[in-house]
């Protein structure tokens, strides 16, 4: 068995600081598993990693890809072009060859694709290496032609090619299959070693990563949906309710399994409306409950969000956005729910909308959202997107001991209580939970009817005006507490790119790259969508152009949804949109080209 | 990592930010609440409305069972009868149309120390909230649901309701309703409710008796309470009112309340139909099932602080 040291001794090794590897096959080939192993290994090797995957919307089968970008330095996006393409079939080869850099390496399964089928043009443009992956896997571990294990064989190939740490990978494989039949661990290791020992892999070029920069940091590797779920748990959320819908379901399934460990529970309900209603009921019970969904489900919940706004009930609503409208493109990325998140509902129903920027940010955003919901007694919508939800990233392990919160209800008696006290500073009031004794004998009602300070209905125009102001003013106060967004790059220049959600990484990388090319481009990222953070107008003043980069349609006004929202605060025609709805994440070059074109 | 505004927990652990020590009479020395202490706003119902009687009997129940203010939890959706929480001096929630049951389930499941009462009408329960009725019943969430059935939409002024009988003339069926009405009892039994009873506002003692039995039932308890709308459907239930020449016939004592099919059969004809407990059975509540899952998983993590439980997950993700 060869070890990492043997590879170090090999002559033709190129030192690299990062690599983009794209694995293409069908969804049942276990390519997500290879990607997961690579990401986890990078996390354990103090490297940065970012992944990108597509899932077919069919239940089983269909083409699928997993892209991993591993870097010794900062990794901001999953990469525009791949250094290596691993193709399991001819259709994977044909569909993804154009994602490879010229001169890049393609490893294809020669059991599924003939060398004769490769065009001369492609042969000169890319380096090809045919490996009989399927048959060698069967040779190594036996079995039928059902292709089980070929993903692990391919992982062995990649480990050899990139000089990956073999003992660590062995450990990861063993951990992954622990608890199952011990033979399965053995089989996996055999498949891996067969790939790793495959001699001809040395025919192209071998690589070795420079040491990572995150030395001494304990890193965790997870998806955005996982980080968001654990953030909610750390925040003290102990009740949730939901209904299955992609890509929100991961969060619901994880909460269902995890919450009972903390004395909490998650309920799968009969529909979206029941789930938000149950969550609101539990929030009234004294906690901060969570519900969530994706596109169509959020539309169904809007009446109840309006109630939570009116009744001033703390609540977390997670929206993992997907392509819309209607059923839309359920497994594709899009950022087109700003309008429904910020404005969805009848009447004036202010709420808070926060969009996490990365997987790590999902964890902290969840805690922040819960604390805002409690402090301001308001619904908070966490606007995640498919790009963060399913992406795997490594990040510094949070200090869980200091972050874990206890927000269980305080039922100690009160002298008197007005749930909607108009004299409260900045209009910020909080509820007492049922079970709380009120010495005055006057008990509160929480309601969706316009109400007086005790929650009893009123038809008074004066009270309606006062209460509407109260609900607005408390969130204006919140906005004033938000930090001014930091500018990425110099504070003056030609173009300012504005990003939100998962676009942060690619936009910042676009700034880096374009500045190297001599362009005066900077960026600012907006996490707080509603209310907006202070200071944007001042930041915008330093630039000739402000382009809001977002994955939604330019609409009737020529700017996307965040662009339109910003324009309603800062009506400056220099604010324009760079938008697209092709269901794919941003490529760095695409952003730069669009920005330079628009600024002409 | 991005800039975060509020990562620190608000100072107070709980909701009572302004809580000050209050001199209180110990529970044992507290007197049963009087009607005056338990009533809040004057009801907005029309004079003669059947709902007055249901409210009065809820007060009676609170008085009789010596319930304290803070333990009374009243939830409603939208409709004439759903105004209920405003009239009760206790913790109350007036939620959106048709969704009182899932809201109340959230309270019941997260706060097992409270018994939640839900009041509503036939439109709220069987039309817009029909789906929730079915699922709350089958999950056997511990709460009491009193549907004040007047067989007409009153708040919106006289439209056909899901329990309006065939031939009923309303603004939306000027020639008389043609659709088969819902049979609330059959609906409840088929959905898996574990307590199904029927009463009428015209018989106060019976209403109180049914409410008490429902409250004592460990599970989802449903009461169909006929409650006449004097404005849009006067005389709707005269056939069951002895004072109007009708007959208030009780479920026969020989009826086995655990026999689902017998209960279904007894529910056959509701004009005027019978009154009493039609079905009652013991089945694990959703609340108990969840408590069991929690006990099981917490047992597996005994001795660990919450952050240590989470740390175990993070250790697996390295």
* Per-residue model confidence as pLDDT tens digits over A553-563: 999 989 999 99
- Look up residue B264 and give its two tokens: 């279904």
CB B15 to CB A444 under 8 A?
A: no
Q: What is the dihedral of CA A151, A152, A157, A163, to 10 degrees?
A: 130
- pLDDT tens digits for range A439-454: 999 999 999 999 999 9
Instruction: For A346, list phi and psi in degrees, rounded to 5.
Output: -90, 155
B247 touches chain A (CB under 8 A): no
CATH classification for the domain delimited by A4-217, as one of 3.40.920.10, 3.30.420.40, 3.30.300.20, 3.30.200.210: 3.40.920.10
Would you say domain A221-403 falls under CATH 3.40.50.970?
yes
Residue A500's closest CA among A526, A524, A523?
Answer: A526
Q: Write down the mean pLDDT value for chain B.
A: 94
The answer to whether residue A237 scores a pLDDT higher than 60 is yes
SS3 A96: helix
CA–CA dist A192, A194 (Å, integer): 5
Q: Parallel, antiparallel, or unpaired for β A352-354 and A379-385?
A: parallel
The answer to whether residue A3 scores a pLDDT higher than 90 is no
What letter would DSSP give residue A339? Answer: H
Residues 6+ apart with CB under 8 A from A368: A354, B4, B5, B6, B7
| Overall average pLDDT of the A409-416 stretch | 93
Residue ranges of the alpha helices (H) in B146-197?
184-191
- pLDDT range class, residue B279, cuts 50, 70, 90: very high
CA–CA dist A349, A475 (Å, integer): 11
CB A406 to CB B89 under 8 A?
A: no
The answer to whether residue B20 scores a pLDDT higher than 80 is no
- Look up residue A205 and give its two tokens: 């070029």
- Per-residue pLDDT at A35: 87
| Overall average pLDDT of the B245-263 stretch | 98
Surface-to-core class of residue A92, CB atoms within 10 Å of its CB (0-12 exposed, 13-18 middle, 19+ buried): buried
**Which neighbouring-strand residues pair with A23?**
A66, A86
Least reliable range by pLDDT among A209-213, A381-385, A543-547, B234-238: A209-213
B261 touches chain A (CB under 8 A): no
Domains and CATH numbers, chain B: 36-283 (3.40.50.970), 284-318 (no CATH)
The residue written with tokens 């628009």 in the block is: A598
The answer to whether residue A323 scores a pLDDT higher than 70 is yes
Instruction: For B266, list phi and psi in degrees, rounded to 5.
Output: -65, -25
In Å, what is the CA distance from A365 to each residue of A114, A354, A384, B3, B193? 50, 8, 10, 10, 41
Count the Cβ atoms, other than its own, within 10 Å of residue A146. Answer: 10
B299 touches chain A (CB under 8 A): no
Name the closest residue on chain A to residue B128, using Cα atoms.
A273
- pLDDT range class, residue A55, cuts 50, 70, 90: low
- Per-residue pLDDT at B22: 66
- pLDDT tens digits for range B66-124: 999 999 999 999 999 999 999 999 999 999 999 999 999 999 999 999 999 999 999 99
Question: How close does chain B come to A35, measured CA to CA in Å?
Answer: 14
| Overall average pLDDT of the B243-269 stretch | 97
The answer to whether residue A301 scores a pLDDT higher than 50 is yes
- Look up residue A549 and give its two tokens: 């980069």
- pLDDT range class, residue B250, cuts 50, 70, 90: very high
Same fold, A4-217 and A221-403: no
Cβ pairs bridging A and B (under 8 Å): 275
Residues of chain B positioned with their CB less than 8 A from the CB of A278: 102-103, 105-106, 109
SS3 A38: helix
CB A258 to CB B313 under 8 A?
A: yes
Surface-to-core class of residue A444, CB atoms within 10 Å of its CB (0-12 exposed, 13-18 middle, 19+ buried): buried
CA B79 from centroid of its chain's CA atoms: 14
CA–CA dist A116, A361 (Å, integer): 48
- pLDDT tens digits for range A358-405: 999 999 999 999 999 999 999 999 999 998 999 899 999 999 999 999
Q: Measured between CB atoms, which of B1, B14, B294 is closest to A409? A: B14
CATH architecture type of domain A487-599: 3-Layer(aba) Sandwich (3.40)
The answer to whether residue B4 scores a pLDDT higher than 60 is no
Where is A219: in which H helix or E strand?
strand A219-223
The residue written with tokens 């939604």 in the block is: A552
More confident site: A63 or B146: B146
The answer to whether residue B206 scores a pLDDT higher than 80 is yes
| Overall average pLDDT of the A308-333 stretch | 96
CB A278 to CB B318 under 8 A?
A: no
Question: How close does chain A come to B219, measured CA to CA in Å?
Answer: 17
CB A439 to CB B24 under 8 A?
A: yes
| Overall average pLDDT of the A50-54 stretch | 81
- What is the percent of chain A where pLDDT is above 70? 95
- pLDDT range class, residue A7, cuts 50, 70, 90: very low
What is chain B's length?
318
Instruction: Give me Rg for the CA atoms of chain A.
Output: 26
The answer to whether residue A202 scores a pLDDT higher than 70 is no
Question: How close does chain B come to A476, measured CA to CA in Å?
Answer: 14
Surface-to-core class of residue A383, CB atoms within 10 Å of its CB (0-12 exposed, 13-18 middle, 19+ buried): buried
- Look up residue A349 and give its two tokens: 């129903």
Q: Write down the mean pLDDT value for chain A.
A: 92
CA–CA dist A21, A40 (Å, integer): 14
Query: What are all long-range contacts of A123-132, with beta carbons under 8 Å and residues at least 24 apart?
Result: A126/A97, A126/A100, A126/A102, A127/A103, A127/A204, A127/A205, A129/A105, A129/A200, A129/A201, A129/A203, A129/A204, A131/A107, A131/A157, A131/A198, A131/A200, A131/A201
Where is A87: in which H helix or E strand?
strand A82-87
| Overall average pLDDT of the A297-326 stretch | 98
- Per-residue pLDDT at B12: 47
Instruction: Give me Rg for the CA atoms of chain B.
Output: 22
Count the Cβ atoms, other than its own, within 10 Å of residue B31. Answer: 8
CB distance B195 to B259 below 8 Å: no
- Look up residue B275 and give its two tokens: 């009154």
Residues of chain B positioned with their CB less than 8 A from the CB of A44: 318
Residues of chain B positioned with their CB less than 8 A from the CB of A353: none
B311 touches chain A (CB under 8 A): yes
CB A410 to CB B14 under 8 A?
A: yes
Residues of chain A positioned with their CB less than 8 A from the CB of B113: 435
Q: What angle do CA B254, B257, B258 make, to 5 degrees?
A: 125
CA–CA dist A258, A569 (Å, integer): 41
CB B307 to CB A404 under 8 A?
A: yes
Instruction: For B192, list phi and psi in degrees, rounded to 5.
Output: 105, 20
What letter would DSSP give residue B126? Answer: I
- pLDDT tens digits for range A140-198: 988 765 557 899 999 999 999 998 999 999 999 988 887 777 888 888 999 999 999 99
Read off the pTM: 0.94
- How much of chain A is helix, strand and coil, in % rounded to 5? 40, 20, 35
The answer to whether residue A110 scores a pLDDT higher than 90 is yes
Domain residues of chain A, as ranges? Answer: 4-217, 221-403, 425-481, 487-599
- Per-residue pLDDT at B11: 43
Say yes or no: ipTM exceeds 0.90.
Answer: yes
The backbone region for A312, taken as left when phi is positive above 0, alpha when psi lies in -120 to 50, beta otherwise, is left
B306 touches chain A (CB under 8 A): yes
């Amino acid at each position: 068995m060869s070890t990492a040291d043997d590879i170090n001794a090999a002559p033709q090794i190129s030192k690299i600081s990062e690599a983009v590897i794209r694995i293409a096959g069908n969804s049942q080939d276990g390519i997500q598993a290879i990607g997961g192993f690579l990401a986890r290994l990078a996390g354990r090797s103090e490297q940065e990693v970012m992944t990108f995957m597509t899932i077919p919307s069919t239940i089983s089968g269909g083409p699928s890809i997993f892209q991993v970008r591993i870097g010794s330095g900062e990794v901001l996006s999953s990469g525009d072009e791949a250094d290596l393409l691993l193709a399991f079939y001819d259709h994977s080869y044909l569909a993804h060859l154009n994602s490879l850099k010229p001169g890049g390496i393609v490893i294809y399964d020669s059991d599924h694709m003939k060398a004769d089928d490769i065009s001369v043009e492609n042969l000169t443009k890319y380096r090809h290496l045919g490996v009989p992956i399927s048959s060698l896997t069967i040779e190594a571990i036996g079995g039928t032609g059902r292709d089980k294990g070929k993903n692990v064989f391919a992982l062995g190939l990649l480990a050899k090619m990139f000089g990956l740490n073999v003992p660590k990978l062995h450990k990861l494989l063993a951990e992954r299959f622990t608890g199952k039949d011990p033979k399965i661990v053995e089989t996996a290791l055999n498949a891996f070693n067969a790939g790793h020992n495959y001699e001809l892999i040395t025919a192209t070029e071998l690589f070795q990563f420079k040491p990572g920069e995150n030395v001494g940091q304990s890193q965790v590797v997870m998806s955005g949906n996982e980080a968001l779920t654990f953030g909610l748990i750390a925040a003290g959320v102990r009740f949730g309710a939901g209904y299955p819908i992609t890509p929100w379901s991961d969060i619901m399934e994880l909460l269902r399994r995890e919450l009972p460990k903390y004395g909490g529970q998650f309920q799968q309900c009969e529909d979206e409306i029941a789930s938000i209603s149950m969550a609101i009921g539990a929030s009234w019970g004294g906690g901060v409950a969570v519900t969530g969904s994706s596109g169509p489900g959020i539309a169904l919940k809007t009446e109840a969000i309006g109630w939570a706004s009116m009744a001033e009930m703390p609540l977390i609503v997670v929206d993992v956005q997907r392509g819309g409208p209607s059923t839309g493109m359920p497994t594709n990325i899009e950022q087109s729910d700003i309008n429904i998140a910020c404005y969805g509902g009848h009447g004036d129903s202010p709420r808070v909308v926060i969009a996490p920027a990365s997987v790590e940010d999902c964890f902290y955003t969840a805690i922040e959202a819960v604390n805002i919901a409690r402090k301001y007694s308001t619904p908070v919508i966490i606007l995640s997107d498919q790009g963060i939800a399913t992406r795997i990233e490594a990040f510094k392990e949070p200090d869980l001991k200091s972050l874990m919160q206890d927000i269980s209800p305080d039922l100690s008696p009160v002298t008197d209580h007005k749930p909607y006290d108009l004299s409260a500073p900045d209009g910020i009031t909080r509820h007492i939970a049922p079970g709380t004794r009120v010495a005055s004998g006057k008990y509160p009602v929480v309601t969706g009817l316009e109400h007086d300070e005790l929650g009893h209905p009123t038809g008074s125009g004066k009270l309606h005006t006062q209460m509407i102001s109260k609900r607005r003013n408390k969130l204006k106060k919140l906005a004033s507490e938000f930090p001014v967004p930091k500018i990425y790059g110099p504070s003056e220049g030609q173009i300012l790119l504005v990003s939100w959600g998962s676009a942060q990484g690619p936009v910042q990388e676009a700034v880096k790259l374009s500045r190297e090319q001599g362009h005066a481009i900077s960026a600012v990222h907006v996490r707080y969508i509603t209310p907006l953070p202070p200071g944007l107008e001042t930041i915008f003043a330093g630039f000739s152009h402000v382009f809001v980069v977002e994955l939604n349609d330019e609409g009737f006004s020529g700017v996307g949804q965040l662009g339109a929202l910003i324009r309603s605060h800062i009506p400056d025609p220099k604010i324009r949109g760079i938008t697209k709805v092709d269901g794919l994440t941003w490529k760095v070059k695409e952003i730069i080209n669009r920005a330079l074109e628009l600024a002409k | 990592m991005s800039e975060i505004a509020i990562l620190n927990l608000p100072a107070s652990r709980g909701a009572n930010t302004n809580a000050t020590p209050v001199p209180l009479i110990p529970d044992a020395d507290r007197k049963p609440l009087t009607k005056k202490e338990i009533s809040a706003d004057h009801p907005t119902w029309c004079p003669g409305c059947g709902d007055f009687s249901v409210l009065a009997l809820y007060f009676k129940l609170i008085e009789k069972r010596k319930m304290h203010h803070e333990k009374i939890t009243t939830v409603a959706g939208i409709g004439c009868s759903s105004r209920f929480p405003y009239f009760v001096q206790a913790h109350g929630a007036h939620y959106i149309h048709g969704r009182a049951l899932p809201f109340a389930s959230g309270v019941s499941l997260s706060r097992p120390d409270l018994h939640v009462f839900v009041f509503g009408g036939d439109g709220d329960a069987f039309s817009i909230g029909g789906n929730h009725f079915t699922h709350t019943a089958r999950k056997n969430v511990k709460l009491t649901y009193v549907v004040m059935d007047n067989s007409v939409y009153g708040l919106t002024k006289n439209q056909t309701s899901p329990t309006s009988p065939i031939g009923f003339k309303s603004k939306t069926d000027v020639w008389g309703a043609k659709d088969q009405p819902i049979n609330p009892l059959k609906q409840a039994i088929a959905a898996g409710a574990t307590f199904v009873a029927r009463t009428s506002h015209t018989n106060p003692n019976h209403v109180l008796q049914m409410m008490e039995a429902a409250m004592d039932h460990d599970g989802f308890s449903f009461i169909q309470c006929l409650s006449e709308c004097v404005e849009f459907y006067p005389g709707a239930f005269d056939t069951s009112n002895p004072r109007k020449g009708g007959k208030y016939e009780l479920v026969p004592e020989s009826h086995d309340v655990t026999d689902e099919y017998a209960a279904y059969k007894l529910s056959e004809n509701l004009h005027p139909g019978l009154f009493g407990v039609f079905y009652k059975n013991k089945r694990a509540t959703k609340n108990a099932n969840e408590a069991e899952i929690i006990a099981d998983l917490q047992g597996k993590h005994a001795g660990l602080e919450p952050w240590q439980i989470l740390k175990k997950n993070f250790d697996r993700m390295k």
